[in-house]
Every structure is written in structure tokens, then in C-alpha cells.
A and B are shown apart, each in its own frame.
Chain A
Amino acid sequence: MDLNTLWFWLIAVLWTGYFVLEGFDFGVGALLRLVGRDERGKRVLINTIGPVWDGNEVWVITAGGAMFAAFPEWYATLFSGFYLPLLAILVCLIIRGVAFEYRAKGTTDRWRANWDRAILVTSILPAFLWGVAFGNIISGVPLDVDHEFAGTVLDLLNPFALLMGLTTLLLFVTHGAVFLSLKTTLEVRDRARKLAVTLGSATVVSLAAVLIWRQFRGGNTGTAGLAVLSVVGAVAAVMLTRAGRDGWAFTATAVAVLTLVAGWFVGLFPNVLPSTTEVLGTLDIHNAASSPYTLTLMSWVALFFVPFVLGYQAWTYWVFRKRIGTKQIPMPVHTDH
């Protein structure tokens, strides 16, 4: 396997890791009101992801950095071409990034209600928009011979991409609901489980529809196998949640996310951004790549540091492995001095 191929798969791993991890914390944010309901309940939800969401988000920054380092043409075309959707995602990540911390630092109900609304919108919108973005990446976009994006933002809002967006949104919210049934107790857990079943069923339908459609748009054996696994994962998550096997249900939604994202990259390889107009515009792992020197250097850096990162992130999840219940939430949030 040459380094270009290695880096393609490393970037695939980073995006997969991002969606498996941040997927559930997007889901938890989206369910803040439905599952949280009252102040104590909402705080249970926030505290299940409190210690980890920031570390989860770094996966996307690293994925972006790795694309820049290994495939600068891909990074340049994608980020400038998808300008407005990325702007929307950025705005969401900015607001969401301060929301959890700042929500806890106010004293009024209005303050908290405003941040609740912010958390809701900024969790739902990126969960949807990332799906739209990857729906476009895998089906290709108009590129000219210089590999510059030659379409408009309306080209990005095509039905296939929108359905992919709906699918990632549903899948991440289900993933979040299953995570909550694993991490909470009593009434919060009951609400999370009920919603996991309902949302999970909707996810199965959407996932099956978009993956069948994808198969007709230049899918291969690999994407077909992964599509089946993804749908099976979603179905299993519903059944396991019903059976009260929270840990296995979470594994199942994680598999569904993992195989969905893996399917995107398997279908894409060896291209990184196909052109739907100029054939010469298509970016692949060779014409988008950095020099062998840079790829070799980055491979050593990754080889040395990725295990380290995985180690301490896993340790964090271990430290905060316990379920949280409403009785454990200290009230009131904060008293004015």
C-alpha cells in the first residue's frame, strides 16, 4: 500500500472516529428537551457528555488538518467550494462550544432556556449538514480543469444529499438516545429508551432508502456489504434497546455509523472528490496529494501519536463510565454571591 492510499484511509478513520463519537453528543444535544424535560433532567444529559464532547470535536479538527497536510488540493477545493454550508457548521460549532460551559454559569431560567435553544439548533444543524456535505462528496460536484468548484450552493442541496443529511441526523440522534439509555438511570433512561426505539425505526427506513439509492449511483460490492451491515446495525440497535441491553445497543448504533461512513470512503476510493463536469477536474489520491516527503513525515507522526491519543481518550471514557441520575445533580446550579 503506498502512502497516498494509507493517508486516504487514515483520513477515513479520522472522519469515522469523529462521527461515531461526536455523533452521539450531537444526538444528546438534539434530545435535550425531549429526553431531559425539566432542569434536572437536562443537566443529567449535559453531564453525560460534559467531560468528553470537546475531545470528540477535536477529531474533526484533526481530520481537517490531515486533509490539509496530506491532500491540500482536496482541502482547498472542498473548503472553498462548500463555503456556505461550512460557514453554517462553523457558526454552530462556535456557539455549541461555549454553550455547555456558559449555560451552567448563569442563574436565570431565561439564560438557561436560551442556551437550551442554542444547544438544540447547533446540535441538529451540523448533524444534518455533515450528511449533506458527504452526500455531495461521494456523488461528486462540478469541478473545472483546475480542480476549482464550478457549481453554486444550490447544486449542493440536491435530493440525494438532502436525504443523506436526514439520514445522518436521524442516525446520530438515535445514537445519542441509545448513549443516554446506557449512561443514565430511572425516568431519564426510560424516556431515552422509548425515543431510541421510535427514532431507530425511522433511521432504519431512511438509512435503507439512501443506501439503496447510493448503490444505484455507482456503488460497488464493498459499499453494498457495508450498507447491509449499517442497516443491520440500526435494526439491531432497536431490538437490543427493547431488550434492555444498553451496552450492546450502543455498540450496534456505533457499528451503523462506522459502516455508513466507511461505505462513503470505500465508494470514493481512489478518488477524493469526483467531478461531475470536467473529467480532468476529478481529484484523486494522487493529483490531490502532498509530496512523498510530507506523506512519509506525517505517517511517522501519526504512527507515534495516534496510539497515544486513543489511549488517553479511552481512559477518559473509563474514568467517567458511571451512569448519572437526576438525584446526583447538585441543585441549585449556582447561587449568586
Chain B
Amino acid sequence: MRVTSDPGPWALGTGPPMAESRRWAAGERSALEFDPDRETAVDPLNIARWQFGITTVYHYLFVPITIGLAFLVALLETAWVRTRNPVYLRATKFWGKLLLINFAIGVVTGIVQEFQFGMNWSSYSRFVGDVFGAPLAMEALIAFFMESTFLGLWIFGWDKLSPRLHAACMWMVAIGTTASAYFILAANSFMQHPVGIEINPENGRPRLNDIGAVLFQPLQMITFSHVITACLVTGGVVMVSISSYFMARKRELGVFRPSLRLGLYALLIGSIGVIVTGDLQAKIMTEIQPMKMAAAEAQWVTKDNASFSVFTIGSLDGKHEVFSIRVPGLLSFMGTGSFDGTIEGINDLQAEYQEKFGPGDYVPNVPVTYWNFRLMVGAGGALLLVSIVGLWLTRKGRHPQQRWVWRLATWSVLGAFVGNSAGWIFTEMGRQPWTVFGLYRTADSVSPTVTAGEVLTSLIIFTVLYGILAVIEGKLMFKYAKAGPPTEADALASVERRPSDDSEDADRPLTFAY
């Protein structure tokens, strides 16, 4: 049996697959049993979920900066190679240094992600290993080797490689980081919408039978575009933010005016891309995970011409609305492309899923989903506005004098962090109670042999360690941002090549050293 778009039929009605019944027989709990103890804080499942949430959101604070900046630094270095205008070299050096500080932390927090599947989610790893491991291994082999090796060459190779080759190294880093995003998003898209599989009758687990479907399903293409444009937004707004700090103080305008304009254009292109792809994603999500979109609007009953609430005050569980501001028909339009389109309600979907998947609670945490959806959309819209206003105010060499303009531009970087984090929290929380939608539940995914004490230990260690790293990283970013770009003389000296035979020059200091 081959599954392409409908995740349903084999997951229902045929009784639990063998592997699952074996676990039930072993007395392990399942999502199907309503066990009140499961909700207590000391449950390994809850701790493991908190750990995954914290480490993933934290990891993703840095990743979009890396992906966005790597691309922008590659552009700046290419401009230097082609024009030989030292301003571009100074800009490359300045933004490159910030990229490196950020890159390191993105890499190390990424290792945790790969280990964590096996450590905390071993049942999940067993269940989906045949499908999920492949994109992860491809990511390591194709993307991680490329980005880390060429980054090493880029950092230490200024005086050893030709300028073209050196710039090419940064392009390889940019391509590597983008490829990495592609593979991990393919794995995530599989969790959102499992395709390219058949169910192994021996153990009830999915077996990969079409890698093309996993790597190129429409959801993946749209998600990748959405994430990459959001990375461009992030890289762009980081540039805008730091450039504005210098612009406000009229320091190093030669470097920061072009940087600001480049950042604003990246922000403009990126945020238009984010909105277009976000719209496409909402439509496909309405089709494949209607529950997520219903939860995004806290829409409990099915409606045609569904309105979108900009803001709601309601009860804590999101079940009762007290006050809201609504745009008529907008939700229907977002989900279906028509103002009269039908948006299914949570209650109807819950009933439908109970019939399909058996008794259980199929409703994600509605307030979390609802608010993160608004934060994501709001951040994207606000950043588009920043780019348009910014490009207008700085058109044809203009330099706004008002301090608040620059202050606002400097703080706008927070919009990217809010948007990126809220987007992931929305899409992952909105998929609950599933890890693989319609196939495998979060409650069944956790490692059965890892104790609550062990998970709590790692949760505390990671949280404390990540907290310390955030402080150090923040301090370094501020310090090196404030220090500004190198002087023209220093920048040019650092790219002076060593003679190939430097026997008489052996003691010449390295132009770059840690």
C-alpha cells in the first residue's frame, strides 16, 4: 500500500500495530488511556517536551541569523572582489566577524538536536527511523561538512587563498547552511504530513518507498521557501539594526550606509517572500491539518465566511471569548482563497478525529497556538513596514535626523526573533498531540528507559548552559558590533597574500590568528 497524500486509512480501524500492542502489553501508557498522572510535572514526557522546546527555540534564535548573514556576507565579499572598493572589504570583515560569533553557537546547539532524538525520543526514532534518519544523515554528509570546512578556510584563509577563491568559500558556507535547512525541513514536513511511505505489516511502522515525495512534497517546497525568506528577513534586519546604531551616531557612514541599504532590500524582498509563502502555507495547512488552522483562530465551530480576530480576550483555556476585534471573512480567505470558504471548527474536527483515530484529545493547546500565530503574522507585517519606511526615508542619500527613527530601526531586530520563534512554536504545538501527524503520538514517542531524573538533569544543565552562553554571545555581539569595522589599512593588510615560497619570510606574523 502506498501513501501519498492521505495519512489516514491505515492509521485507523485496523487496531493497534504490533509494535504498539507489545508496548501496551508491557504496561506502558498510551495517549489513548486517560491517565491523570501523565499531566504531572515529573512525568519524563513533559520534561522531555520542555527540553525539546527550549533547546529548539534557542537553537533557532541563531540559525536564521547565520543563514541570512552568510548569504549577505557572500554578496558583500563578491562586491569587494568585483569592484575592489575597500568599503566592501571592510563591510565583509565587520559582518563576517558577527557571523562567526553567531555561527559557533548555532552549530553547537545543533548537535544537541541530532543527539536528542535518540536520547529523549528513542521510541519515535525507532518508529520513524526508516524515513527520518535519511534526511538527517544527508544533512550531515552534504551540508554540515560543507559549511564547517569552508568556514574554517574562510576564517583562516584570507592570506592563503586568492580573493575569488576566498569569496567562493563564503558562498559554499551559505549554500551549506541553506542545504542544511532544506534537509531538516524535509524531515519536519514529513512529521507534518507523512508521505512517500508504506506501512510495514510486520511492525506497523512506516517504511520509506519514495524519497522524492519526502524531499519534494508541496508542503516541503512551501515551508522551505517560507523559512529561507524568513532567514533573509532575519539577516537583513540584523544588518539594518546594527547599521542604524552607527547611522544615528554618524559613524563609519561609508560602510554602514551601503550595509543599511543592503539590509533594507533584503528585508523587503524577504518579508514579501515570507508573506506570500506564508499565505500558501496556510492554505495547504488548512487542507492537511485543519485542526492546526482552527486552533490558530480558536474557531470551535465550523463556519463559512470565517472572520479573523486580530485580538481576543478570552478565558484561559481559550474556550470562551470575552472581547475581540475581527476582520470578516479573512480567515476563510487565508485558509481557502475565498472569503466564503469553509473553515472547519475544533469541535467538529475533534469528533471527526475521534471517529478516525479512536478516543483521545486531538485539540492542541489553543491559546498557545492562537497567540503564536498572531505574533508570527504581526512580526512579519511589522518588518515589511520597517523595510518600506526605511527605504523611503533613506532614498537618494537622505539621512533622517530624528533619533527615534534610528532607535526604532535598531530595536526592530526583535521582530525577527519573535516571528521566527512564534512561527515554530505555532506549527509544532499546533500539530499536537502528534509527532507524526495521524501516525504517531507525542506521548508514545518518548524514550521508555530514560528516567524523569535523567531528563530533568539534562533539562536543567542545558537551560543553565544555554543561559550562560546567551549572556556571553550577547556581550560579544554588542562588543564587536560597537567596535565597528576595521580601518581601510588594516583590512587591506589582512588580505595581502603570503608569497608561495616564504622561506625567508617564515616568521612573518599570520594575518589572522585566534
Chain B proximity mask over A311-334: 1 for CB below 8 Å, otherwise 0 = 011001001100011011110000
Bound-complex Cα distance A72 to B208 (A): 13
Residues of B within 8 A of A (CB): 22-23, 26, 100-101, 104-105, 107-109, 111-112, 114-115, 117-120, 122-123, 125-126, 128-134, 136-142, 144-146, 148-153, 155-157, 160-161, 200, 207-209, 211, 447-450, 454, 457-458, 461, 465, 469, 472-473, 476, 479-480, 482-484, 506-511, 513-514
How far is B480's CA from A104's CA once the two chains are assembled, in angstroms? 12
Interface residue from A104, A294, A319, A328 paired with B130 (Cβ < 8 Å): A294
* A94 B149 Cβ-Cβ under 8 A: no
* A90/B448 in contact, CB under 8 A: no
Are A291 and B208 also in contact (CB < 8 A) when A69-B136, A72-B129 are?
yes
A208 interface hit (Cβ, 8 Å):
no
Shortest Cβ gap from B138 to chain A (Å): 6
A50 an interface residue at 8 Å Cβ cutoff?
Answer: yes
Which residue of chain B has the shortest Cβ distance to A98 in the bound complex?
Answer: B104
Q: Are the C-beta atoms of A46 and B140 separated by less than 8 Å?
A: no
A328-B141 contact given A51-B155, A61-B114, A298-B134, CB 8 Å threshold? no
Partner of B118, one of A79, A101, A103, A324: A79
Query: Are A290 and B130 closer than 8 Å at their CB atoms?
Result: yes
Given known A51-B155, A305-B142, A316-B149, contact A327–B509 (CB-CB < 8 A): yes
- The answer, yes or no, to whether A213 is at the interface (CB within 8 Å) is no
Does the CB pair A146–B26 fall under 8 Å? yes
Within 283-316 of A, Cβ neighbours of B (below 8 Å) are at 290-291, 293-294, 297-298, 301-302, 305-306, 309, 312-313, 316
CB distance from B209 to the nearest CB of A (A): 6
Q: By the criterion CB–CB under 8 Å, are A337 and B484 in contact?
A: yes
Quick one: closest A residue to B142, CB to CB?
A305
- List, in ascending order, chain A residues with CB within 8 A of B137's CB: 62, 65-66, 68-70, 298, 301
Which residues of B sit under 8 angstroms from A43, Cβ to Cβ? Answer: 513-514
Additional A-B contacts beyond A98-B104, A313-B145 (7; CB < 8 A): A80-B122, A148-B122, A148-B449, A290-B130, A293-B209, A313-B149, A330-B509
Q: How far is the CA of A62 from the CA of B513 in the complex (A)?
A: 28
Do residues A54 and B115 form an inter-chain contact, with CB atoms below 8 A?
no
Contact B461 A72 (CB under 8 A): no
CA distance A43 to B510 in the complex (A): 12
Residue among B105, B448, B457, B480 making CB contact with A84, cutoff 8 Å: B457
Q: Which of B111, B208, B511, B514 contacts A293 (CB 8 A)?
A: B208
Quick check: is A150 within 8 A (CB to CB) of the other chain? yes
Find chain A residues with CB under 8 A from B149 CB. 54-55, 58, 309, 312-313, 316
**B104 near A58: Cβ-Cβ < 8 Å:** no
A257-302 contacts to B (CB < 8 Å): 290-291, 293-294, 297-298, 301-302
List the 5 closest A-B pairs by CB distance, nearest first. Answer: A72-B129, A79-B118, A69-B133, A68-B133, A97-B108
Task: Choose one: B140, B155, B513, B514; the contact of A61 (CB below 8 Å).
Answer: B140
A106 to B142, CA, bound (A): 33
Main secondary structure of the interface of A (DSSP, over half): helix
Across the interface, do B145 and A309 meet the contact criterion of CB distance under 8 Å?
yes
CA distance A215 to B26 in the complex (A): 38
Which chain A residues lie closer than 8 Å to B108 at the CB level?
Answer: 93-95, 97-98
User: When chains A and B are docked, how far (Å) is the Cα of A337 from the Cα of B490?
Assistant: 14
Q: Does A87 contact B (CB under 8 A)?
A: yes
Residues of A contacting B129 in the complex (Cβ-Cβ under 8 angstroms): 68-69, 72-73, 75-76, 290
Contact of A54 with B118 in the complex, beta carbons under 8 Å: no
Q: List 17 A-B contacts (CB under 8 A).
A: A46-B514, A47-B510, A50-B152, A50-B513, A54-B149, A58-B144, A62-B140, A62-B144, A67-B133, A73-B126, A87-B454, A148-B449, A290-B133, A291-B200, A302-B141, A313-B145, A316-B153
Separation of A21 and B22 alpha carbons in the complex (Å): 43
In the bound complex, do residue B476 and residue A102 qualify as a contact, i.e. CB atoms below 8 Å apart? yes
CB-CB under 8 A from B454, the residues of chain A are: 83-84, 87
Complex Cα distance A98/B476, Å? 12
Contact (A97, B107) CB under 8 Å given A52-B152, A105-B480: yes
Task: Tell me, rounded to whole Å, the shortest Cβ–Cβ distance linking A270 to chain B.
Answer: 19
Q: Are B133 and A301 in contact (CB under 8 A)?
A: no
Q: What residues on A are CB-neighbors of B126 within 8 Å?
A: 72-73, 76
